[in-house]
Amino acid sequence: MTRKTVTIKNRAGIHARPAALIAQTANRYASEIVIERDDTRINAKSIMGIITMAASYNTQLTLCAEGTDEAEAIAALESLFENKFEEE
């Protein structure tokens, strides 16, 4: 399993557009991918699940992937967070 802690850097936090980008990116990979926040685990391939996390600016999340392409999946998702979902 590959794990990576990321911080939400865009001021608006995770709303519909970033959630869609996360889910679309996650769905390109065969690995099982989840996002953890505190005691909550959300399927990263589910837009609605991601939105229900209500993750705001500066929130830390842990990306977890398990499967044949887990490293690539985590790298792609981490890039979205680093680039502020291309919003700023």
Mean pLDDT of the chain: 96
Residue-range definition of the domain harbouring residue 28: 2-86
Domain count, the chain: 1
Q: Residue 71: its pLDDT value, please?
A: 98
Q: Residue 87: its pLDDT value, please?
A: 81
* Marked catalytic residue, from 4, 9, 15, 37: 15
Q: Residue 86: its pLDDT value, please?
A: 87
Q: Residue 29: its pLDDT value, please?
A: 98
CATH number where 26 lies: 3.30.1340.10
Residues in the chain, pLDDT under 70: none
Q: Is 87 annotated as catalytic?
A: no
- Closest residue by Cα to residue 63 from 37, 84, 87, 83: 37
Measured between alpha carbons, how far is 45 from 32 in angstroms, rounded to an integer? 9
